[in-house]
Structure 1
Amino acid sequence: MSRQPRSTDKTARPSGRSASALAVDDLRRLCAFLYQRTGMIFGESKRYYIERRVADRMAATGARSFPAYFSHVEADAGEVEHLINIFTVNETYFYREEHQLLCLGRSLLPGIVQHKKPGDLVRIWSVPCSTGEEPYSIAIWLLENWPLVDAYNIEIVGSDIDTQVLQDAAVGDYGTRALSRLPPDVVERYFEPTGDGQRRLIEDLRESVRFTRANLVDTASVAAQGRFDIVFCRNVLIYFDDASRLLAANNLYDALRPGGYICLGHTESMARISKRFDLRRFEDAIVYQRPGEGA
């Protein structure tokens, strides 16, 4: 991966806000670039947030102006990856929206496995998965609460557009805040102290989840993941505009097997995005289903 050399002349390199202040056209250009590649909407209202992050990448690459930095972005796929990483939102913790985990065990999985035989594959997708708390929560919840967990071949995949969080997820180190919703006995069983105030998920659990890069507005990227019985896609569509939401919804529809379910964040509604899904009201949660008999 090529990198522009860092300048050693501190007087020549702009610093602070003056270095990263973007002209109106430059801001629009960057926001259009991010939108095209992520579906996320940025604009003038988030100028300070944008400029701070651009300043970090300009310093890292030695770029002395935004046009110089953007030329570097256009020429280096690795820098595109870094740029996208710094603009993703990664707020999460274990057992977030626990009612959906209850629904998973009490309603969704029973509906899925009625069309399968013992030993058959059940695929569950967490996208975006951030630093792994959500897919690992699914694995822990099933071990703790679903009596049939050993009767089927369960594959859990966690995907994100941010490559840095995928690396962090594979390591499996978490602090007190990430673990705060877990029962203390669960923390003791599945997380080992690392000596620096954090805990590391035990190896067996880390190996139970496979992590991949995926972009919800890139049809080929989603298709490469295969089809799933259940998808957790929470709190990402709120960052998209209508066109990106519809594209993501269509990609998610195609990623589901007939009869499969998708769980969204509590402020999100698939009914306002696409009519292709059936709304299903279960005891613990409202979810959306791809029509058709499960396979």
Structure 2
Amino acid sequence: MGQVSSRKDFDWVEIEEPHKTRRKLILEAHPEIKELMGHDPSLKYKVTIMVLVQLISAYYLRDSHWSLILVTAYCWGGVINHSMALAIHEISHNMAFGHFYPFANRLFGIFGNSVMGIPYSTMFKKYHLEHHRYQGDEYLDVDIPTKFEAIFFNRTLTKLIWVILQPYFYAIRPLFIRPKPITSLEIINFTFQFAFDVIIYHFFGFKSMMYLIVGTLLAMGMHPLAGHFISEHYVFKDGFETYSYYGPLNLLTFNVGYHNEHHDFPNIPGCKLPLVKKIAPEFYDNLPCHNSWVKVIYEFITNPNIGPYARIKRRNNNNVLGNDKDE
């Protein structure tokens, strides 16, 4: 079973999350960073190409052996679908068409979501912006594992299982921590996704449909790209709650590894986040960071000091949420 986690609770703090303060200091020192704010005009083309590539791949795999489908889903289709999930992350911040066209961004997110096989885009958007506004809040940040997860998955073997099942916890956790009414956009997302899956099944076959769905689930669990889920906010060094990753996999993930930079400036598209670090190195070079998502996963599983409890949390101070709206 491996060593039992040495952590018995989350790291509770009274101070506010660090990004608001650092954002203010950076803008005072480097006001030119404001010029990086805006959307990514190339995003819509990249997403469209990924959708087309997945459709072509699914078509050519329609009569393949299951072993080839599984290997291809993990090594190829899953990589594209994980990249698509991070494109949807960009779209949730209105990076496809800009902040003046939120509805166009929502519909485009649903379009990109299609090849993932599982409805994801609108539900992700509904909770993700709260993760930015209320980072670490005991009730409002559903990115943090539940107490059940932290207690049950506290050994090497159970943490391995947790990593494999990570997409399921990521999807189900908000429904238990902070359930919200179903929105009309979610209904559209679910309906469009169901219709898309039926069309793939009808014209390409069951294997093609499973190639898309299985690839999504595999790449969100025990997969090198999935290391970003752990690297972003799990405490690897006491006192630090957000970590950037500066390795090559940023090329496949819309620079989500630049996570301190992203939380400092969520209105700057991923394609420009490296420029934030380049312009203001004095604010980032001394922060602990990661250089390998594979190493992050390995250390999370094997190190008893790291696990689902290794997150910074804040007591809810009667935060009053406004209506969910786009940034």
Please state which structure has a larger fraction of its residues in strand. 1
Higher relative contact order (CA 8 A, sep 6+): 2
TM-score with structure 1 length normalisation?
0.26
**Higher Rg of the two aligned structures:** 1
Please state which structure has a larger fraction of its residues in helix. 2
TM-score with structure 2 length normalisation?
0.24
